[in-house]
């Protein structure tokens, strides 16, 4: 996607807000969570994924990126001893998402494998207040004339307008609310991986797709402004850099360019650690870089955990 998040914003009629929403930030700053003790465990998790996991010298990204994600999720899940409602979540891997919408007479569709999806039984409460939603009416969507907004999108003849995450899960599924999407850029070769900007755009599109499908399943296919906005979160990483995103769907009326817009909060390029050295680097008989994890940032994990706990705390 060419211009990255800006193009995705136009396509999904969204207003961007930098940083995390105050509700999530409140969870991060909440001292009752006991995030300090978890620091040690997170360091071990990172070391395990990056250094200790394999019998060879250093694991490759295809291995350490999913492994790091699994370790972090395991730490987050073990918090369900403290918050029993956390057990009402279920991870679904390899689920296919499909959503269609119209945008100024261009029919757009999002389809594909959307990484790992975490579902919960209860929806997340709307993050933005009523005034903020109404204030988005004045916001003008950025266009990038003369480049058409649909640049770099594949034009396809679609014979069936597939429309719901109900295609992914059957009716009656108890964990029906999409909570968080996880994207792991784990290709070994750098050119196969998405750059951070493109990753954020991909996260936005898929979060939007999931939210839209859920909205259509709940309220039907008519475009309108939603009284109960739907919130879907999204986390993307390549093993070191983390991108956090909270998306709130306020309206399914996407044909026109004005009116209430959707909102997205993005916290981008959070490093979990600076470097992970498997073998100490020695120059001229002096150890310049010792083996181990250096530059560990516990705040990134706090945000990860806050997004995980959002909705139950």
Partner 1 sequence: MAALGSWRLLRPSSRRWFSETVPGAPSPPASLLYPPVVASITANSKAAKSRRLQRFNQRVHAAATVEEKLRLYGKLQRPKYMVYPQTFALNADRWYRSFTKTVLVPGMPPGAAAAKRPVAAAGATPETGRDPEPRAEAPGDAEAPGAAKTPEPVAGAVPYLDVGELRSLACDALLQESFYQSKKRPFLYRDQDHTPGPFLTQLVSTLAASLSGRNPLLAASSLDLNPKVNYYWHHGEEVVVHGHRKGRVDPVRFQIDDNPHLQIRVPKQLPEVVPLESDLGDVPVIDHKPSKLPLFKKQYENKVFIGSKVADPCCYGHTQFHLLPDKLKRERFIRERLEDQIEVVYRSNGIASLFAWTAAQAMYQGFWSEADVTRPFVSQAVVTDGKYFAFFCYQLNTLALTAETIKNNPRKNICWGTDSKPLYDVVEDGNVKGFNDEVLLQLVRFLLNRPKEL
Q: Is 146 in the site for partner 1 (CB under 8 A)?
A: no
Integer CA distances (angstroms), 109 to 143, 156, 159, 195, 202, in order: 20, 9, 12, 22, 13
Q: 3-state SS string over 73-101?
A: HHHHHHHHHCCHHHHHEEEEECCEEEEEE
* Shortest Å distance, C-beta 110 to partner 1: 17
Q: Which stretch binds partner 1 (CB under 8 A): 4-12, 75-83, 126-134, 282-290?
A: 75-83
Q: Least distance from C-beta 96 to partner 1, angstroms?
A: 8
Bridge partners, 107 (sequence order): 102
177-184 and 225-237 strand pairing: parallel
**Structure tokens, 3:** 């211009």
Q: Is 197 in the site for partner 1 (CB under 8 A)?
A: no
35 binds partner 1 per the rule CB under 8 A: no
CB of 167 to partner 1, least distance (A): 6
Q: Is 181 in the site for partner 1 (CB under 8 A)?
A: no
- CA pair distance 240, 272, nearest whole angstrom: 6
CB neighbours (10 Å) of residue 172?
6
CB of 77 to partner 1, least distance (A): 4
CB of 85 to partner 1, least distance (A): 11
- The smaller minimum CB distance to partner 1, of residues 111 and 139, is found at 111
Q: Interface with partner 1 by CB under 8 A: which range of 62-70, 129-137, 201-209, 305-313? A: 62-70
Give the chain's length: 313
**Closest CB 189 distance from partner 1, rounded Å:** 22
Please give the Cα distance from 253 to 222 (Å, whole number): 8
What residues between 83 and 112 interact with partner 1 by CB under 8 A? 84, 86-87, 90-96
The CA-atom distances, in angstroms, between 57 and each of 190, 291, 293 are 20, 12, 15
Residue 313 touches partner 1, criterion: CB under 8 A: no
Site residues, partner 1 (CB under 8 A): 41, 44-45, 47-48, 51-55, 66-67, 70-71, 73-74, 77-78, 80-82, 84, 86-87, 90-96, 167-170, 172-175
């Amino acid at each position: 996607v060419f211009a990255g998040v800006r193009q995705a914003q136009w396509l999904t009629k969204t207003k961007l807000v930098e940083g995390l929403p105050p509700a999530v930030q409140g969870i991060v700053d909440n001292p009752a969570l006991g995030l300090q003790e978890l620091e040690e465990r997170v360091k071990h998790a990172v070391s395990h994924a990056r250094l200790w996991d394999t019998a060879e010298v250093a694991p490759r990204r295809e291995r350490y990126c999913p492994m790091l994600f699994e370790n972090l999720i395991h730490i987050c899940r073990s918090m369900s001893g403290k918050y029993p409602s956390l057990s009402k979540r279920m991870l679904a891997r390899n689920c296919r998402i499909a959503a269609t919408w119209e945008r100024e007479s261009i029919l757009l569709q999002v389809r594909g494998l959307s990484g790992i999806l975490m579902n919960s039984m209860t929806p997340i409460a709307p993050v933005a207040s009523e005034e903020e939603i109404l204030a988005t009416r004045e916001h003008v969507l950025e266009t990038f004339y003369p480049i058409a907004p649909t640049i770099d999108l594949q034009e396809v003849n679609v014979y069936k307008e597939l429309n719901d995450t109900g295609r992914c899960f059957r009716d009656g599924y108890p964990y029906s609310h999409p909570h968080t999407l996880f994207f792991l850029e784990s290709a070994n070769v750098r050119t196969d991986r998405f750059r951070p900007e493109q990753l954020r755009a991909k996260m936005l599109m898929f979060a939007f797709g999931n939210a839209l499908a859920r909205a259509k399943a709940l309220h039907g296919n008519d475009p309108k402004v939603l009284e109960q906005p739907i919130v879907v979160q999204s986390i993307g990483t390549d093993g070191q850099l983390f991108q956090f995103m909270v998306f709130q769907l306020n309206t399914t009326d996407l044909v026109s360019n004005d009116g209430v817009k959707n909102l997205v909060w993005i916290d981008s390029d959070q490093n979990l650690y600076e470097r992970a050295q498997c073998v100490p680097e020695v120059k001229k008989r002096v150890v310049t870089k010792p083996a181990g994890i250096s530059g560990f940032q516990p705040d990134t994990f706090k945000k990860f955990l806050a997004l995980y706990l959002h909705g139950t705390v």
